[in-house]
Amino acid sequence: MTDSAVPVVLIVEDEPDVAETYNLWLADDYEVRIAGDGDEGLDRLDEEVDVVLLDRMMPGLSGDEVLERIRERELNCRVAMVTAVEPDFDILEMGFDAYLSKPIRSAELIETVEKLLERSTYDRLLQEYYALVEKQATLETAKSGAELAESDKYARLQSRVADLQEELSQTMGGVEDDTDFITAIQQISGSEDS
Amino acid sequence: MYDLASVLKTEAVSNVRPGTSILIAGPAMTGKESLAIEILAEGSRNGDGALVVSTGDSAENIVEDYRDRVAGVSNLQLGVVDCRAEGSNGSLADGDTPPGLHVHKVSSPGDLTGIGIGITKCLEALHGAGAENGRMALVSLSTMLTYTDRETVFKFCHVLSSRLDAAGYVGVFTIDSGAHDDQTLQVIKQAFDGLVEIRDGESGREGRVMGLTDGPTDWTAL
């Protein structure tokens, strides 16, 4: 996700009325793409998509199969699974980032999309933070305390580390609930493989 | 606030803010893990919940050792995430909850998602059992670093610290300072609010606290 562009949401839903309802709720704040089945969803998916709303039960490719292919393509999008029944949060182990159970209310849908975008921001900040911490550690291990005290570069780095630390704690209030916590860890473990 | 003064032998840590995470670093065989567990035990004696995440010891051993330490404490609330449960068949099973005890088993110290779920379930259970405050110990990061790279461990510590902050817990994590290069230690330290350094001094084990007060405390015998 780039900061300047409007976030893109892809709706994959086989019932046109339902898809259109989601579109009405989201179109003011997001660029919305609609796909009527799993194959079309995969066609309309590219690097620009930030969030996918994926119906689990569809004719043709199921939501689970679509998810698997999304993950194979190593795209950075977040996927919310839309289910008929409320699953246990263990289902997050399957690689979904959130779930919504039907019928979905507008406030709930908007909140989920916002949450998923915030999590992407958190992951990006954590990555930046780690890169700075590595740089800082490199200087700390290479130079003496006196050299560090005189180094402008080190001072600037330290203040950027502190700023990012603050920004991270403001994003998602750190890691507030269980789902945030588990998906944040999954994101970390997943990025190791790529 | 959490009082760690009696275990760490310095008044500097008599008022530790909920949500603080502390790294305990020192060479091998200096009793880092025992110190971490003792910080939890001190909490248990005051009614705090306790959560042990272990990469090296079985849930059965942890529970036995812990019960000995806090003998006489009524209404003990202990959660254990045993991360070496692959192929183990001890007397405690995953999800077991004898009174006051919450056990979760994870296949390997490299399964961070599994460890996260175990921690979540234990935190929920401890909270549900009425433990408003609590302390968590993760022993040890050195083992985790043999399964996972330092970037992943750093991020894991950061995310876990945020979760403990939300829960109002205090967290202690151990690392063997002799087992990793300087760069790794410097990076991992940055994921924590404070550092307890342990060394073998002339009169036995000594420790000092950094990051939680204005300057480092003096070395004191532990």
Domains along chain A with CATH numbers: 8-115 (3.40.50.2300), 120-193 (no CATH)
CA separation (Å) from B81 to B36, B63, B138? 15, 11, 9
Interface contact flag, B183 A137, Cβ < 8 Å: yes
Say if residues A79 and A183 touch (Cβ distance below 8 Å). Answer: no
Tokens representing residue B209 in the block:
């606290």
CATH 3.40.50.300 at B5-221, yes or no: yes
How far is the C-alpha of A142 from the C-alpha of A129, rounded, in Å?
20
* pLDDT one-digit tens code per residue, B95-145: 666 788 999 999 999 999 999 999 999 999 999 999 889 999 999 999 999
Read off the pLDDT band of B93 (50, 70, 90): confident
Interface contact flag, B162 A141, Cβ < 8 Å: no
Interface contact flag, A175 B166, Cβ < 8 Å: yes
Looking at CA atoms only, how far is residue A75 from chain B in angstroms?
19
Read off the pLDDT band of A74 (50, 70, 90): confident
Residue A190, pLDDT above cutoff 90: no
Interface contact flag, A126 B155, Cβ < 8 Å: yes
How far is the C-alpha of A177 from the C-alpha of B167, rounded, in Å?
9
Chain A residue whose CA is closest to B166: A176
The domain ranges of chain B are 5-221
Show residues of chain B in contact with A133, CB under 8 Å. Answer: 154, 187, 190
How far is the C-alpha of B210 from the C-alpha of B218, rounded, in Å?
10
Read off the pLDDT of each residue in A103-109 and give the average, rounded to a whole number. 93
Query: Which residue among A140, A186, A189 sits closest to B186, beta carbon to beta carbon?
Result: A140
Q: Given the structure tokens 């003096």, which residue do they identify? A: B218
Residue A145, pLDDT above cutoff 50: yes
Which of A188, A191, A193, A194 would best serve as a mutation to test chain B binding (most B beta carbons within 10 A)?
A188
Q: What is the mean pLDDT of chain B?
A: 92
Q: Given the structure tokens 């699974």, which residue do they identify? A: A81
CA separation (Å) from A187 to A68, A73, A97, A148, B48? 15, 15, 9, 34, 31
Residue A9, pLDDT above cutoff 90: yes
CA separation (Å) from B58 to A66, B30, B50? 39, 21, 16
Tell whether A173 is within 8 A of chain B (Cβ): yes
Looking at CA atoms only, how far is residue A168 from chain B in angstroms?
10
Residue A2, pLDDT above cutoff 50: no
* Beta carbon pairs, A and B, within 8 Å: 76
* pLDDT one-digit tens code per residue, B179-221: 999 999 999 999 999 999 999 988 889 999 999 988 889 999 9
Residues 9-68 in A contacting B (C-alpha not used; CB under 8 Å)? none
Read off the pLDDT band of B88 (50, 70, 90): low
* pLDDT one-digit tens code per residue, B19-31: 999 999 999 999 9
Show residues of chain A in contact with B107, CB under 8 Å. Answer: none
Show residues of chain A in contact with B148, CB under 8 Å. Answer: 189, 192
Query: Using H for helix, E for strand and C for coil, what is the string for B134-147?
Result: EEEEEECHHHHHHH
Show residues of chain B in contact with A192, CB under 8 Å. Answer: 148-149, 151-152
